Amino acid sequence: MAATDAATRPIEAHRKLATLAGDWKLVSVALDEQGRNVGKPHEGRAELRMILGGRYLQWREVQDLPGGPRESLGFLAYDKVAREWQWSMATDLSTGVGLARGEGSLEGGVRFVLEVVDGQDGSVLRSRSRLRALQPGELLLERFGAAKDGGEVVVRRVLYQRTSTPAGRAGAERVGN
């Protein structure tokens, strides 16, 4: 049991992840290829909580979209065996769970690749996103799309601003038990 405990003990990546725990307000905007806002920004809120001994960040989010609020629930984690970030997300806008894998750091940006099955033809589609901590109390999630020149361009930007942290420690339950 001691070997299992040591193998699954949270590491520095988990401690950094724990700093994201708290309540956040968000503003989501769609962008054109030149980076200009397209349409009306959508607001919302997110609750991020460390769970299971500081190994996972539970991510619950509600965005106020046309037609009413839409909810998402997921988990963000660092797999120290695979040496990669993993993000799962379920939403009331779909029937499946999105599973993304990523590399990088929260400070410099974790680049995720999400694979989903196209509902029309069954092909596998890949989308890319980047999550990064801008400064204490601010997170930025950017989703990328194809640019006309064959590169990629940011097509959606979600800015998260912290409104509160969990009681006790600034950001998390105890990590590293």
pLDDT tens for 111-151 read 999 987 777 888 888 889 999 999 889 999 999 988 888 88
List phi, psi (to 5°) of 136.
-55, 125
User: pLDDT tens digit string along 158-176?
Assistant: 999 999 988 755 444 333 3
Quickly name the fold that domain 21-164 has. Answer: Lipocalin (2.40.128)
List phi, psi (to 5°) of 163.
-110, -25
User: pLDDT tens digit string along 61-73?
Assistant: 999 998 899 999 9
Distance, in Å, from the CA atom of 126 to the CA atom of 166, rounded to the nearest integer, reads 35
146 C-beta neighbours (distance < 10 Å), count:
11
Does the pLDDT at position 14 exceed 90? yes
User: pLDDT tens digit string along 80-107?
Assistant: 999 999 999 999 988 888 899 999 999 9
Block residue for tokens 């409104």: 163
pTM given for the model: 0.86
Closest among 78, 70, 126, 120 to 98, alpha carbons compared: 126
